[in-house]
Structure 1
């Protein structure tokens, strides 16, 4: 049940972002998401006495906040003003491929085959669907992929011993503080003009897909371990595609399905050796 819940919870954000950005600007949406998420997670982190330990490595924590929260959430929200949520979810499925390249570990024949297969899927997807919103959204999504692939590496190298509730709560609070000076003056006007559906999408994104998602993920790791928990990374894009088609009537073509299969197969092969060797507590999927 936890696995199903996580697959849905981290597959839904692409749909919610697409709805929210109809009335809410990208920076404002990131602020709402981080601020509400921090308000919900900070009490848990304080109760577990994890905040102080999370603040000690403040520089890696700040870097993690920028790379895993600030930049990718802003780029993701801006890109979805132009492209479909299903397309976004499929591009983000390439995160394990980017992580395999960034880690610069010795590549076996299986992992090389996985990288080639996955990149072929991304190329197929971009070649036939990437011109819809122009080159800028595509570059933004590629930036999100790089950020999401880099964030866990920061945790692995500098924050592996830091309590995870503390990291999540403090990074969300730091993200809200970073965006507050830029969006706070316009929040009263936004509150008067935003319509119901985008407002509900933004709140759901913050409460369910951010705060609750972290709680469920830690519970899943406790039940099955970090290695098996990362399998949700391969299911989230499918949820994004299905919801995009069912709710927003986004088009799914045979090429989309083919690209999705190639990306998943490539991601599995490219990360297979790494997953089998890494300690469970050092693995984390990207947050969307």
Structure 2
């Protein structure tokens, strides 16, 4: 992995870790539906402008079923779950629970793809579950049932990410940029009917508007482009390492910008979840660094 790729990787992790900060700042005021509709619409418009600049057309109707599956289960529904949870949980916990997606992906693969879970992966699942248990136990003591429901929402979102990762193995072959662009417009349509059901709670201020715009354009639209560039240059295995860095930035940004306390339970939970994810995915940092760069 080249220095440029390493810098892109760290930048992407810092952006995705920062997305939980913006959700914390806006979720209580806007509610989950308006927040996520604003996020995916901003991302879709951003990708539309980029596609116009690159003169790339989107065959939306030709792949409409595929785009709606990805848009719903990899974007709209998980984003809504995290937006709901952001009204209760801190950014650190959100980022840590987000990183459990590969754990769910491994379990779903064992059922759907008939992939056998090896001993190493099984140990990783136990570590990941232990990490979540540490977080759930602490949140139950401090926040009560509301905190538990928020954590369950995050885990449901992570499960959807795991489903989406397995779906892509059998999905129609679509270019990464078109996948991102088409699925964002599908997500816009999926979230739209929820707007009357979950109204805005407070007046929309300039800081809130800027937060949603940043969440959509930077943390979603541009972040997707960074991620797909990493996949193209260094392969999916190396790009996967961003999963392990996002919780670290989530904890860091939460402490720096929101004054969140970094407790022992947060550090222990993060360590267990990340270690479990490494074992389940079979990721090797040494191998990733030595991955040759493709033209």
Q: State the TM-score, normalized to the length of structure 1.
A: 0.87
- Give the structure 1 partner of residue 165 of structure 2: 152
Alignment size in residue pairs: 273
**Residue deviations 1:26-51 (CA, integer Å, cap 9, x gap):** 10011111111111112434545351
**CA 1:42–1:185 in structure 2 vs 1: closer, same or farther (change >3 Å)?**
farther
* Superposed CA RMSD: 2.5
How far, CA to CA, are the matches of 1:185 and 1:122 in structure 2?
31
Q: Give the Å deviation of 1:11.
A: 1.0
1:174 paired to 2:182: no
How far, CA to CA, are the matches of 2:61 and 2:51 in structure 1?
12
**CA 1:108–1:180 in structure 2 vs 1: closer, same or farther (change >3 Å)?**
closer
**Residue deviations 1:80-107 (CA, integer Å, cap 9, x gap):** 1111111111111211111111110212
How far, CA to CA, are the matches of 2:150 and 2:239 in structure 1?
30
- Give the structure 2 partner of residue 231 of structure 1: 241
How do 1:62-81 and structure 2 match up within 5 A?
Answer: 62-81=68-87
- Unmatched 5+ residue regions in structure 2? 1-6
Q: Counterpart of 1:21 in 2: which secondary structure? A: helix
1:135 paired to 2:148: yes
Q: Counterpart of 2:259 in 1: which secondary structure? A: coil
* Kept after mapping to 2: 8 A contact 1:130/1:138: no
How far, CA to CA, are the matches of 2:81 and 2:244 in structure 1?
22
Q: Counterpart of 1:12 in 2: which secondary structure? A: helix
Q: State the TM-score, normalized to the length of structure 2.
A: 0.85
- Give the structure 1 partner of residue 8 of structure 2: 2
How far, CA to CA, are the matches of 2:197 and 2:106 in structure 1?
41
* Kept after mapping to 1: 8 A contact 2:124/2:279: yes
Partner of residue 36 from structure 2, selected from 16, 19, 30 = 30
* Kept after mapping to 2: 8 A contact 1:60/1:154: no
* Kept after mapping to 2: 8 A contact 1:86/1:241: yes
- Give the structure 1 partner of residue 65 of structure 2: 59
Q: Give the Å deviation of 1:136.
A: 2.0
